[in-house]
Amino acid sequence: MWRRCSRNENIPVEKLSGFAKIHDDKAEISTPRTGGIIIWASVILTLAVVWIFDFVFDGVISTKLYFITRNQTLLPFFTLIVASLIGLGDDFLQIFGRGKWTTDPIILRYIKIGIILLLGLVIGLWFYFKLGVTELYIPWYGFINLGFLFIPFFILVMLSLWSTSVIDGVDGLSGGVLASIFMAYTIIAFFNNQADLATFCAVITGGILAFLWFNIPPARFYMGETGMIGLTVTLSVIAFMTDTVLLLPIIAFPLFITALSDVIQIASRKLRHGKKVFLFAPLHHHFEAIGWSKPKITMRYWIVGIMTSIIGVIISLIS
């Protein structure tokens, strides 16, 4: 993995910002990045193993094991790889870049938004024209036809989920939350008779758990954008393929509440002349500021994530 040097190195504690005093920025920045490679590489490795089985046993075993199919998993697999490579490029830029590019400048954020919008447009068009998807499922009501509006709605959902990548800020936090979310979608897809998609979600869950083994406090490396962009963008595709888009705020509640805390903080400072709602944003850093330890924050996020994932699965099955 790769490392970055801390910008706070050799600065006296009393001169650090308030956030730096409560958050070990030096330890975080010096920890290796791009650990998310483990997750999407594990999906590729699993496919390679299945292909080897196919070659050795002439398709007798691998026919049932192969889970990349055009109607269920080709699109989310494509999304995972492309979005992860976009994230990897962003990680590389901040690790090996020079000058302002190492500090995630506003211009880089606009570039990333533009790339995510373009990716969302391509996938939304694929849903609309290739798969013929134009409807949105509302639990306990049924389907409503969005027509061509399905495409901008899809882009909006993808962009919203991408924004939740801010959760990757405390040891073990993002991995545990995302593992429960993808496990929930493994169950949902299975009961939707989408066996290949369920297998795909299960493989991603396994990759996240493999990453999490080394990411629990104290983290040996972080997920980085290559993991967060890949997983959050892919999650939007899976949600549409399982007709559970409107359940995302429940199933992925820790992701959404964390991103929402950022939005609330920014809006408050803009509209209330600098006044803040939280001591720090995103939300997990607010909990750090009020004295919660990193392991406590992580464990409580996991608990909430597991509970909301279960609730989302139940609603999906009975609605």
Where do the domains of the chain lie?
34-247
Q: Yes or no: say if 80 and 230 are a contact pair by the CB < 8 Å rule.
A: yes
Alpha-carbon dihedral 197, 203, 208, 212, rounded to 10 degrees: 150
Q: The tokens 């939280």 sit on which residue?
A: 278
The pLDDT assigned to 97 comes to 74
The pLDDT assigned to 154 comes to 97
Closest CA to 164 of 305, 3, 20: 305
Both tokens of 180, joined, read 């429960």
The pLDDT assigned to 62 comes to 55
H helix or E strand, kind and range, residue 144: strand 142-145
The pLDDT assigned to 192 comes to 95
Q: Would you say how long the chain is, in residues? A: 319
Long-range contacts (CB closer than 8 Å, 24 or more residues apart) made by 211-214: 211/35, 211/36, 211/38, 211/39, 211/175, 212/172, 212/175, 212/176, 212/179, 214/35
pLDDT for 154-184, tens place per residue? Answer: 999 999 999 998 888 788 999 999 999 999 9
Per-residue pLDDT 10s for the chain (319 aa) are 544 444 333 334 344 455 555 655 555 556 677 889 999 999 999 888 887 777 776 665 556 667 777 788 889 999 999 999 999 998 888 888 777 766 777 888 889 999 999 999 999 999 999 989 999 999 999 999 999 999 999 999 999 999 998 888 788 999 999 999 999 999 999 999 999 999 999 999 999 999 999 888 888 888 889 999 999 999 999 999 999 999 999 999 999 999 999 999 999 998 888 889 998 889 999 999 999 999 999 999 999 999 999 999 999 999 8
The pLDDT assigned to 24 comes to 55
Q: Yes or no: say if 225 and 165 are a contact pair by the CB < 8 Å rule.
A: yes
Residue ranges in 192-293 assigned as alpha helix (H):
195-215, 224-241, 248-251, 253-271, 283-289
Q: How far is CA 19 from CA 36, 77, 79, in A?
A: 26, 38, 35
3-state secondary structure of 141: coil
The pLDDT assigned to 65 comes to 66
Q: The tokens 């936090």 sit on which residue?
A: 173
CB-based contacts of 233, cutoff 8 Å, min separation 6: 79, 80, 83, 116, 119, 158, 161, 162
Number of H helices, E strands in the chain: 14, 2
